[in-house]
Chains A and B, each alone.
Chain A
Amino acid sequence: MTEITGILKTAGSKRHRAEARFRAYGLIAIAVSLSFLLIMIGSIITRGSGAFHQTFVQIDVELPAEKLDPEGTGDPDVLRKARYGKLLKAALRDRFPAVKSRSDKKALYKLLSSNAEYTIRDQVVADPLLVGGTHAFWVRASSEVDQYMKGKIDSSLEESRRRINDKQLAWIAELQDAGKIEKRFNTQFFTGGDSREPEQAGIMGAVAGSAYTLLICFVLSFPVGVLAAVYLEEFSAKGRLNRFIEVNINNLAAVPSIVYGLLGLAIFLNVFNLPRSTPLVGGMVLALMTLPTIIIASRSSLRAVPPSIREAAYGLGASKVQTTFHHVVPLAMPGMLTGSIIGMAQALGETAPLLMIGMVAFIVDIPGGVTEAATALPVQIFLWADSPERGFMEKTSAAILVLLGFLIIMNLVAVYLRRRLEIRW
C-alpha cells in the first residue's frame, strides 16, 4: 500500500516538476522577447526624440524695397522671385561685425540653415508690408548648430575633428547670452515634405504617400480577396480544380515581394503606361501582394462559421446567396478584417516592390492625389538612413516612430471594427 502511494507521489511530483519547468521556459521566452522589444523601442525613442525639436535663431533682417520690389507693386510673384539669401548674409554680418575674413564669413553663414532664406521669403510674401523695414525673424539653425545644441557634438574634441569650429561655438554662445537662439517643437517634421537639409526635412510626404498607397491597395484587394474567398469556400465545387487553386494561392503568399514589383514594372508601367513613382501603381502592386493573405485568412474565417447557421438559413427558405451574404459573411467579417489588416500592415512595411516602380525616390512635394509622384514611409526611413548628413540619424529613428504609430493606428481601427461587427451579431 505504502509502496503504491510512494510511486504515485514520486510520479506526481515528477509531473509537477515538469510542468513547473515548462512554465518557467515559457516565462523566460516571454521575458526575453519583451526585453528585446523594450531595448529596440527604447533605443529608437532615445535616438529619435531629438528630431521633434529644432533650434531656431532670431535675426534682424533689413528688407530694402529697392532690392525686393523696386516698383513697389506688392505683387507676390515679384516678392517670390527676389533673392533673400544675400539679405540674410548681410544681416549675419551686421550681427557679428567683427567677422572679416572670407573663411570666417563662410563659417558664419553656416550657422543658419541653407534654406533659411525661404522662411523669410514666405513670410514676406504672406505679409508684403514687411518690405522696406528691418524685422526680426526666427529662422532654422543649420543642422550642425542644431546637433550641437542637442549635445550631439562633443565640443571638447580637437577642432579639426568636429563639424563646428571654435569661432562658431563662440558665436553660438553669444547668441545664447542674448537669448536669440532656442529650441522649439519641430512642427515642420510632421507637416513638411522631404529635404536634403536635415533641419528642414519632414515626414508628411511619406505619410501621405503611404496613406494613398494603402487606400488603393485596400480598395482593390479587400473586395476582390473577400469575394474570391467566398466563392471558393461557399460556391465552387470542392474538386481537384479547387484544390489546385488553393495550392497556388498558398504559393503566391510565399512569393518574395520583389517579384510583384517586377510584375508591376512589366505590366502596369510598360503595358498600361501608368505613371511611374505614383501611389496608384504602388497600391496596385501591393494589392497583388496582399491578395493571397486576404484570401487565405478570409477562407479560414468562413470555414470557422458553424454549418448550423447555414442549415438554419436554408431551413427558413433562404437562397444560397442570401445565406452567404446575410449570415455567413457577416459572421466571418471580423476574421476577414483581421486578415486584411495583417496583409495591409505587411504592405505598409514593403520597400522592395516599390523600388521597381520608382517609388524609392527623393520627392519634396507632398502628393495631392494617387497619380502624383510619392514615396512611402519605409522608403523614407531607408533614404534617410543612407544619407551622409549626421542630422538624418535622429530623423531616421523619428520616422521609425511615425511608422510604428501608423501601424498602431491601423491595428486600433481593426480592433474597433472587429468589436463593432461582433456586437451586431
Chain B
Amino acid sequence: MSRISTALRPALAITALFAMTSASHARDQITIVGSSTVFPFATTVAERFGKNTDFKTPVVESTGSGGGLKLFCAGTGAGTPDITNASRRIKASEVELCAKNGVDEIIEVKVGYDGIVLANSRKADVISLTRKDIFLALAKNVPDGEGKTKPNPYTTWKEVNPELPDVKIEVLGPPPTSGTRDAFVELAMEGGCKKIGWIKALKKSDKSAYKTLCHTIREDGAFVEAGENDNLIVQKLEVNPAAFGIFGYSFLDQNSDKVQGSVIEGSEPTFELIADGDYPVSRSLYLYVKKAHIGVIPGIEGFLEELTSEDAYGEDGYLADKGLIPLTEEESEEVLDAVANLTPLEL
C-alpha cells in the first residue's frame, strides 16, 4: 500500500496542480485576440488602460482577423477571449457561429481606417497608377481583348500602360493568410477588374468565375510573397529600387525617409486623403466585444472608455500618432453612442 502511494504521489501532485489552476481560473485580466493590423493600436490602448487604472494590463494576442473571430465565437466564459480585433467587418457566417455557441450579443466598435499602400524606394520616381493598372499588372489571367482571358503576358509596367516607366514588374506583398492581402485583393485588384466592361457583366452571370478572375494573383514570379513582416519588405525595397511593396500605411509613415507611396487614382496615400476617403485602397478596422463578459471580467467598460476617449481615437489622439486614420465626426458619434449604450450588433 505504502509503495503504491509513493508511486502515485507525483501523479497526485500533478492532478492537484491542474485542479488548483482550473479552480483559480476566474480571470481578472482582459484578453484580446485578432487582427495583426489592429494589434499595434489595441496594444497601445491596452497599455494606457493598464497605466491609467488599477486593472491589470490586458493581454493582446495577434491571431489574424479570422483566427480571432473563431476563438471569440467559441463560446462564453473565462476560457474565451473578451474582445477580438478585425481588419474587416464580421461575416454573417461568423455571427451565426457565435450565436450557435451562445455568443448572441456582440458590440461592434469601428476604430478607424487603414490605408494599404503600394510603395517603392525613394531612389526611384513616384508612379501614378489606376486600380486597373494594378489589376492588369498583378492578376494571373487578364482579358485578351476578345472577351476571353489569357495568362498574364505583361513583364514591364510600360506594357500595362504606356504612361508608366519601362521597369520590370516586381511586387513584394504579404501571403494569402494576411488580412492586408485580402484587403488589397478586394479593394485594388477587384476595384480595377470591375472597370472592364465584360468582367463587370460576368459578376452577375457567373459570380465564382468573376471572383477567380479578379482575386487571383499571378504566380510567375512578378508577385513575390515576402512574408507577414512589413519591415522586411521595406528593407528589400530599399536595396531594390525597381521593386514595389504592399503594406499598411503605418509602415509608410514610419519609413518616409526610405520609401514613398504610389499615387493611386490620382490620390496620394497621405493621412488626410485616406481620412477623407479619397484614397481608394483603404479599409475599416473593428473591435468586437462580447457583451456577456461585461461585468464578469473586470475592466472591459473601462477599456472601451479609454479606447473611445478623445485622447485615444480623437483626431489628435495617440492612436493617430501610431498611424490609425480616425473616423469622421459623424461616424465617431455613432460609435460613441453604441459603446455608451452597449448596443449589440445587428447585421
Asked if A184 is at the interface (CB within 8 A of a chain B CB), the reply is no
A364 at the interface (CB under 8 A from B): yes
Question: Given contacts A118-B51, A272-B18, is CB(A362)–CB(B323) below 8 Å?
Answer: no
Q: A273 contacts B25, CB within 8 Å?
A: yes
> Does B31 contact A114, Cβ atoms closer than 8 Å?
no
Complex CA distance for A273 and B23, rounded to whole angstroms: 10
A365 → chain B, closest Cβ, in Å? 5
* B22 within 8 A of partner (CB): yes
Q: Is the CB of A361 within 8 A of B61?
A: yes
Q: Is the CB of B59 within 8 A of A362?
A: yes
Chain A residues with a Cβ closer than 8 Å to the other chain, count: 41
Contacts of B27 in A (CB 8 A): 275
Q: Are A115 and B51 in contact (CB under 8 A)?
A: yes
Q: What total of chain B residues lie within 8 Å of the partner, measured CB to CB?
A: 45
In the complex, chain B residues whose CB is within 8 Å of the CB of A273: 22, 25, 79
CB nearest neighbor in A for B46: A362
Are A385 and B229 in contact (CB-based, < 8 A)?
yes
Q: Which residue of B lies closest to A274 (CB)?
A: B21
Residue of B nearest to A106 (CB): B316
Contacts known (A272-B22, A273-B79); A390 close to B255, Cβ less than 8 A: yes
Among B44, B57, B251, B321, residue most surrounded by chain A Cβ atoms (within 10 Å): B57
What residues of A have a CB within 8 angstroms of the CB of B256 in the complex?
160-163
B19's nearest neighbour on chain A, judged by CB, is: A272
Known: A272-B22, A388-B230. A360 touches B62 (CB 8 A): yes
Chain A residue contacts of B47, Cβ below 8 A: 195-197, 362, 364
The closest CB in chain A to the CB of B248 belongs to A388
Q: Is B39 positioned at the interface, with any CB of A under 8 Å from its CB?
A: yes
B256-270 interface with A by 8 A CB criterion: 256-257
Q: Establish whether residues A277 and B31, one from each chain, have CB atoms under 8 Å apart when the complex forms.
A: yes
Q: Is A149 among interface residues, defined by CB-CB distance under 8 A?
A: no
Q: Is A44 an interface residue (CB 8 A)?
A: no
In the complex, per-residue mask of A135-160: 1 if CB is within 8 Å of any chain B CB, else 0: 00000000000000000011001001
Instruction: Write the nearest CB–CB distance from A6 to chain B, whole angstroms.
Output: 59
- B residues less than 8 Å from A388 (CB atoms): 40, 230-231, 248, 250-251, 253-254, 322-323
Which residue of chain B has its CB nearest to the CB of A358? B61
Q: Answer yes or no: B154 CB below 8 A from chain A CBs.
A: no
Within A100-157, the residues touching B (CB, 8 Å) are 106, 110, 114-115, 118, 153-154, 157
Q: Which of A114, A160, A196, A383 has the most CB of B within 10 A?
A: A196
Distance to closest chain A CB from B154 (angstroms): 31
Residues 121-147 of chain B, each 1 if its beta carbon lies under 8 Å from chain A, else 0:
010000000000000000000000000
- The reply on A187 being an interface residue by CB < 8 A is no
**B210 in the interface, Cβ–Cβ < 8 Å?**
no
Check if B298 is an interface residue, CB within 8 A of chain A. Answer: no
- CB proximity of A265 to chain B, nearest CB, Å: 10
**With A163-B254, A385-B229 in contact, is A363–B57 under 8 Å at CB?**
yes
Closest chain A residue to B316, Cβ basis: A106
Q: Are A276's CB and B79's CB within 8 A?
A: yes
Tell yes or no: B60 within 8 A of A by CB.
Answer: yes
**Whole-angstrom CA separation of A272 from B16 in the bound complex:** 12
Closest to B54 in A: A80
Q: How far is the CA of A387 from the CA of B43 in the complex (A)?
A: 11
- How distant is A51 from chain B, measured CB to nearest CB, in Å? 16
Is there a chain B Cβ closer than 8 Å to A386's Cβ?
yes
Residues of A within 8 A of B43 (CB): 196, 362
Shortest beta-carbon distance from A387 to chain B in Å:
7
In the bound complex, residues from chain B placing their C-beta under 8 Å from that of A365 are 50, 56-57
Candidates A162, A195, A362, A387; contact of B257 at CB < 8 Å = A162
B230 to chain A, nearest CB (A): 7
Q: Which residues of A contact B255 (CB under 8 A)?
A: 390
Q: Is B59 a contact of A373 with CB atoms below 8 Å?
A: yes
Give Cα distance in the complex from A275 to B78, angstroms.
Answer: 9
CA distance A193 to B319 in the complex (A): 21
Chain B 15-39, CB within 8 Å of chain A: the 1/0 string?
Answer: 0001001101101010101001001
Q: Does B306 contact A (CB under 8 A)?
A: no
Residues in B neighbouring A274, C-beta threshold 8 A: 18, 21-22
B318 in the interface, Cβ–Cβ < 8 Å? Answer: yes
Which residues of chain A come closer than 8 Å to B323, judged between CB atoms?
388
Chain A hits for B104, CB < 8 A:
none
Residues on the B chain within 8 Å of A393, using CB: 231
Pairwise interchain contact A114-B231, C-beta atoms closer than 8 A: no
Q: Determine the chain A residues whose CB is within 8 A of the CB of B278 once the complex forms.
A: none
Tell me the bound Cα distance from A167 to B36 in angstroms: 34
In A143-194, the 8 Å CB interface with B consists of: 153-154, 157, 160-163
Name the CB-closest residue of B to A390. Answer: B254
A311 within 8 A of B: no
Given A154-B257, A196-B322 in contact, is the A387-B21 Cβ separation under 8 Å?
no
| 13 other A-B residue contacts (CB within 8 Å) besides A276-B79, A371-B24, A388-B322 | A118-B51, A161-B122, A161-B257, A162-B256, A163-B256, A272-B22, A276-B31, A362-B61, A365-B56, A386-B228, A386-B230, A386-B231, A388-B253
- Can you identify 20 A-B contacts, CB atoms within 8 angstroms? A114-B321, A118-B51, A153-B257, A162-B256, A163-B254, A269-B79, A274-B18, A358-B33, A361-B59, A361-B62, A362-B47, A362-B59, A363-B57, A364-B46, A364-B50, A386-B228, A386-B230, A387-B40, A388-B253, A390-B254
Binding site for A on B (CB under 8 A): 18, 21-22, 24-25, 27, 29, 31, 33, 36, 39-40, 42-44, 46-47, 50-51, 56-57, 59-62, 79, 122, 228-231, 248, 250-251, 253-257, 311, 316, 318, 321-323
9 closest A-B pairs by beta carbon, nearest first, are A364-B57, A362-B43, A362-B60, A361-B61, A196-B44, A388-B250, A373-B59, A388-B254, A161-B257
